[in-house]
Chain A
Amino acid sequence: MKKIIFILLCAVSLANAQKTGSISIHFDHVIGNEPLVLNDKKYKNADGDEFKVSLFQYFISNIRLIRKDGSTYVMPQDQSYFLIRESNKGSKTITLANIPKGKFTAISFLIGIDSARNASEIGQRKGCLDVAGEAKDMYWAWNSGYIFVKMEGTSIQSTAKNNIFMYHIGLFGGIGNKKTLNNIRYATIDFGGETLRVKDNKFVPVITIKTDASRLLNGDTNVEIAKNPTVMGGPFSAKIAENYKTMFSFAGLDKLTTDIDKNRKALGMN
C-alpha cells in the first residue's frame, strides 16, 4: 500500500516536472529615467514640481501569461496576489510556479485587487491580503476596500502640513447598490518580440518590468502637487489611476538558474 502511494507520488511529481515550470518577475522601480531612491533623491514632475518619495507600493493580481497565438494561461487566482514594496527588496521579485510549459510573448495583470476579493469574506484574505498583517497599510477600514497603489513623499510645492503629499488610490466599484468609483486598471506588458520559454525548473526565466512611479503624476493629467497634495478616494483618484495604468514597461528577459540568491546577485538586486 505504502509503496503504491510512493510510486503514485513520484509519478505525479514527475508529471509535474515535465509539464510545468516557474518564472520570476523582477520589478525595477524608477522615476522617469532615474532609479527610485527613497527619501534622499529629488525629482521633478511634468508640472515642474520638485519632490522626494518616501514610500511607493502597490498590489498586482490576477496574472495571465499570453501566448503567441493569443491564448492565455490564467494563474490560479489564490496564487496571484502580490504586494510590491519599494522598501522591501524581497517583495520586488516574485516567483510564479506551476506555469505550463510553453512560449509566452506577453503578461497582463490587474493593478490592485479585483472587486470580488475586495468584497470577499475575511477568511479569503490571507498572506499579502491580511488586513492585520502584510496589507495593514493597504486597506481602508472606513470604506471597506484595499488601497491599490500608494505613493507618499514631500514637495516644497505641497500645500499640506509639513509639505507632504499622499496618493492612496483604491476603490473597486462597491457592492450591491453601493456604487463607488471603480479605479481598477489593467496592464499588459508585451515582451517586445522576445519569447519567454517555460521549460523546466532548472532554468527560471526572469522578466524585468520597469515601474515608473512618476506616472502617477504625469500623463493625461499632469498633477500639480500644490493643488492636489493628498488624494485618497474622490473623483481625482480616477485621474491618477488613468495615469498610472501606463507605469509598467518591459525591461528585459533573462534566463537564470533556480538558485534564487544567485539570480538576485546577477540582477544586482542585493
Chain B
Amino acid sequence: MKSKFIILVVSSLMYLGVACSKDDSQVVKPEELFTVPANFPKPLYDFSKNPVTNNGFELGKALFFDGNLSRDGTISCAECHNQAYAFTHHGHDLSHGIDNKVGIRNAPPIQNMAFQKEFFWDGGVFDLDLFSIAPIENPVEMDEKLGNVLEKLRKQEKYTTLFQKAYGSKEVTTERFLKALSQFMLALVSANSRYDKYVRKEAGGTLTTDEFAGLEIFKQKCASCHAGELFTDHSYRNNGLPVYNKNDTGRQRITAAGDDSYKFKVPSLRNIAVTAPYMHDGRFYSLDAVLNHYSDGIVESKTLDSLLRTNQRLGIALNKDEKTKLIAFLKTLTDEEFLKNKKFGI
C-alpha cells in the first residue's frame, strides 16, 4: 500500500517535470524509469527536488558513459562501474583510474541508489546529487575540475541539445549536470532476481532445497547486519577484517570519532555473485573466501562488532555444508534482467 502511494507521488512529480519542459514529442512512461518494487522499503531520495524524466535519464546516461568527464578524456564513470558486473569495476580489487593510478577502495555496485542514504564505504557523501563531484575531482580517478567539465559540455552540440531536451533550455549548470547523473543512477533499480520473485510469489520464483536452506541460515547468521530486502541496515561496522591499510580508518575519516575506526558501511548483497572482488578493499576474490573470513578469519580489535564476538568465540560458526547452502542462496540474488537491460547501456 505504502509503496503504491509513493509510486503515484513520484510518477505524478515526474509528469509535472515533463509538463514544464514543453516537450510533447516524448511519450513518457515514468514507471519504466523508477518504481518502488513491491518488496522494497520507501525510497530515501527526495524525488520532489529532481523528478526522473526520460530526457533527464538520457542526459545522465550520456554523461555516465562519457570520458570527457575526466582530465584526458579516457575515464568515464562506466569504466569503473560496468553494467555486466552490477556497475562495479570487474576484476579490480582497488579501482584503477586515470594514468593507471590506483585508489584505496573497491568500486561498489551502483544499484538501488534511491534507497541508500549515504554514499561511499565510509558514508562521506549524504546526497546522491553531491556525489559525482568526488570521482570527477579525485586525482586518482578522473582528475578533472567540475567547472572544466561543464565548459567542455557547453561546447558540444550533442550536449546543448540533450540539456535543452531535459531542462527546456541549453544552459549547462552545476545543478543540472549533477541532477542528470543522479537521474540515471536512480533509475538503476535491481529487484528482479530469483529471490525477489520468490518473495513476491511471482512466476519463476522457485528456490531449490539448498537455496532455501541457505536463506534460512542467512536469516539466522547474517541478516542482523545485512538486513531487509536491501541486505543492509545502512550502519557502519567493523566485521573483523585484518587491517591492511592503517591509514584507511573508514567511517572514522568522516566522523573523527575513535569508536568509528575501521568501520565500513554494511554493503547490500544484491548481485553479489557478479561483484567480486569483495570488501572495501577488494581483498577477497570469491564468496568462499568471504565465508571463510566469517567462520575463521575474524580478528579481534577495539571496534569489532559485538555480533561477531558471541559465545566466547570470534566470528560466525559455519560448517562446510552451511557454507555451500549460503553460497547457493547468495547466487539467487543475481538479477539478470538488470545486468542485461539495454536501457542502461549505450
Residue numbers of A with Cβ under 8 A of B are 119, 121-123, 125, 130-133, 136, 139, 141-144, 174-176, 178-181, 233-235
The secondary structure that dominates the B interface is helix
Q: Which of B6-14, B195-203, B254-262, B292-300 is the contact stretch?
A: B254-262
In the complex, are the beta carbons of A235 and B256 less than 8 A apart? yes
Q: List 17 A-B contacts (CB under 8 A).
A: A119-B126, A121-B46, A122-B174, A125-B174, A131-B133, A132-B146, A132-B149, A133-B174, A136-B147, A139-B133, A141-B125, A142-B120, A142-B138, A144-B124, A174-B255, A178-B254, A180-B254
Cβ–Cβ < 8 Å partners of B120 in chain A: 142
Cβ–Cβ < 8 Å partners of B133 in chain A: 131-132, 139, 141
Q: Does B175 contact A (CB under 8 A)?
A: yes
A65 to B334, CA, bound (A): 60
Given A136-B147, A175-B126, 18 further pairs, Cβ under 8 A: A119-B126, A122-B174, A125-B175, A131-B130, A131-B174, A132-B146, A136-B146, A141-B125, A142-B138, A143-B124, A143-B125, A144-B125, A174-B255, A176-B126, A178-B118, A178-B255, A180-B256, A181-B256
In the complex, are the beta carbons of A123 and B138 less than 8 A apart? no
Partner of B255, one of A122, A131, A136, A179: A179
* Contact status of A144 and B130, CB under 8 A, knowing A176-B117, A180-B255: yes
In the complex, are the beta carbons of A178 and B126 less than 8 A apart? yes
Q: Does B179 contact A (CB under 8 A)?
A: yes
In the complex, are the beta carbons of A179 and B257 less than 8 A apart? yes
Closest to A134 in B: B147
* Contact status of A178 and B49, CB under 8 A, knowing A132-B174, A133-B147, A141-B137: no
Residues facing A in B138-179 (CB within 8 A) are 138, 145-147, 149-150, 174-175, 177-179
Closest to A143 in B: B124
A176 to B257, CA, bound (A): 15
Cβ contacts B224-255/A at 8 Å (1 or 0 each): 00000000000000000000000000000111
Cβ–Cβ < 8 Å partners of B256 in chain A: 180-181, 233-235
In the complex, are the beta carbons of B255 and A121 less than 8 A apart? no
Interface size class of B (residues with CB under 8 A): 20 to 34
A130 to B129, CA, bound (A): 13
The secondary structure that dominates the A interface is loop
A130 to B130, CA, bound (A): 12
Q: Does B214 contact A (CB under 8 A)?
A: no
A132 to B69, CA, bound (A): 13
Q: Does B84 contact A (CB under 8 A)?
A: no
Residues facing A in B103-147 (CB within 8 A) are 117-118, 120, 123-127, 129-130, 133-134, 137-138, 145-147
In the complex, are the beta carbons of B257 and A142 less than 8 A apart? no
Closest to B151 in A: A132
In the complex, are the beta carbons of A123 and B117 less than 8 A apart? no
Q: Considering the complex of A and B, which 6 residue pairs feature the smallest CB-CB distances, nearest first?
A: A132-B146, A141-B134, A132-B174, A141-B133, A143-B124, A132-B147
A130 to B146, CA, bound (A): 10
A179 to B252, CA, bound (A): 10
A178 to B118, CA, bound (A): 10
Cβ contacts B175-193/A at 8 Å (1 or 0 each): 1011100000000000000
Cβ–Cβ < 8 Å partners of A130 in chain B: 174
Cβ–Cβ < 8 Å partners of A142 in chain B: 120, 124-125, 134, 138
* Contact status of A178 and B123, CB under 8 A, knowing A122-B175, A130-B174: yes
Cβ–Cβ < 8 Å partners of A233 in chain B: 253, 256
Closest to A121 in B: B49
* Contact status of A121 and B127, CB under 8 A, knowing A136-B147, A178-B254, A235-B256: yes
A78 to B25, CA, bound (A): 37
B25 smallest CB distance to A (angstroms): 26
Cβ–Cβ < 8 Å partners of A234 in chain B: 256
In the complex, are the beta carbons of B49 and A131 less than 8 A apart? no
Closest to A136 in B: B147
Closest to A123 in B: B175
In the complex, are the beta carbons of B179 and A122 less than 8 A apart? yes
A19 to B331, CA, bound (A): 71
Cβ–Cβ < 8 Å partners of A180 in chain B: 254-256
A36 to B51, CA, bound (A): 48
A231 to B178, CA, bound (A): 29
Cβ–Cβ < 8 Å partners of A175 in chain B: 126
A130 to B147, CA, bound (A): 9
Most chain B Cβ neighbours within 10 Å, of A125, A132, A176, A181 = A132
B283 smallest CB distance to A (angstroms): 21
Closest to A238 in B: B256
A141 to B147, CA, bound (A): 14
B124 smallest CB distance to A (angstroms): 4
A255 smallest CB distance to B (angstroms): 39
In the complex, are the beta carbons of B145 and A136 less than 8 A apart? yes
B69 smallest CB distance to A (angstroms): 12
A183 smallest CB distance to B (angstroms): 11
Cβ–Cβ < 8 Å partners of A121 in chain B: 46, 49, 127, 129
Closest to B123 in A: A178
A136 to B151, CA, bound (A): 14
Cβ–Cβ < 8 Å partners of B177 in chain A: 132
B20 smallest CB distance to A (angstroms): 14
A245 to B145, CA, bound (A): 31
Partner of B150, one of A132, A144, A181, A235: A132
